[in-house]
Amino acid sequence: MSNGFSTVELAERKAIVTGGASGIGKATAIAMAGAGADVVVTDIDEDGGAQVAADIGGSFAMLDVSDPSAWDRVVSTAGPFDIAFLNAGISTNQGLPRTEGDPISALTDDAYRRIMSINLDGVVYGARAVLPGMTERGSGDIIATASMAGLFPISLDPVYGLTKHGVVGFVRSLGNYFESTDGAPDICVSALCPAFTDTNIIGEELRAVLDTFEVEIMPVDHVAGVVMRMLAERKPGSQWAVEPGHEPYVFEWPATKTLGQDQE
């Protein structure tokens, strides 16, 4: 499969990437800059994010995606943005098998609130922050990183699955709004749904488990290439399922099928 980095021209477009200090965010920031975009790399890892920004000729902004005031600050000082890659995310237990008991009974309030605030709130706050600028200009692209766990069950980490299903539902619904509403600006909202990828979310113990079952871990460049295709092909409300060594499978929901509207 081609990495897809050359399939779209992003000159004169400004992009924000969350979780850009490493992993999929870093690879995608590099790809976007290579296509001509002015990229603002954001992360809570100041040193890592600033280095990525310096390497690609972009800029860095400290951003805790779970903090709406931080979003307001970044967008007011570094925006508006033509592209928002809402990529930051965490897991609760790195998908590791439990030695005893179910995966929910021992879940702490703090762990639950933390993953919800980053994986779900971070996407909603991000979309809310960038949409006014996109609306004013009449166009834009929002891509949120979900996961294959947003499309299928993940029994080892149900709360991670909850957040990623939430991202998919949010994208499908918001994308449907812009696609099906008369007079709405040309804003494409879509979801990236990768399988296991070589990021910090996968610790050494999980790597060992995946290796035992001969589960391939994707390189981040493969996933970043799909993000570039998403920007080129612009399929509103879609979910792009990404697996190692394969073309992505794109799930699309017809814009005419919307709850609350009469159906034929």
CATH number at residue 119: 3.40.50.720
With respect to residue 3, please indicate whether it lies within any of the assigned structural domains. Answer: no
pLDDT top residue among 260 and 60: 60
8 Å CB contact between 234 and 186: no
At 165-214, the pLDDT tens digits run 999 999 999 999 999 999 999 999 999 999 866 566 665 555 555 556 45
User: Is it the case that residue 67 has pLDDT exceeding 70?
Assistant: yes
With respect to residue 229, please indicate whether it lies within any of the assigned structural domains. Answer: yes
Return d(Cα 157, Cα 106) in angstroms, integer.
12
With respect to residue 115, please indicate whether it lies within any of the assigned structural domains. Answer: yes
Other Cβ atoms within 10 Å of 127 Cβ, number:
20
With respect to residue 196, please indicate whether it lies within any of the assigned structural domains. Answer: yes
DSSP annotation string for 204-230: HHHHHHHHHTTPPPBPHHHHHHHHHHH
The pTM of this model reads 0.89
Number of domains in the chain: 1
With respect to residue 262, please indicate whether it lies within any of the assigned structural domains. Answer: no
Helix axes 109-116, 158-180, angle to 10 degrees: 30
The catalytic residue positions are 160
Return d(Cα 7, Cα 233) in angstroms, integer.
9
With respect to residue 4, please indicate whether it lies within any of the assigned structural domains. Answer: no
With respect to residue 257, please indicate whether it lies within any of the assigned structural domains. Answer: no
Return d(Cα 175, Cα 169) in angstroms, integer.
10
- Percent of the chain surpassing pLDDT 70: 82
Range of 168's domain?
A: 14-251
With respect to residue 172, please indicate whether it lies within any of the assigned structural domains. Answer: yes
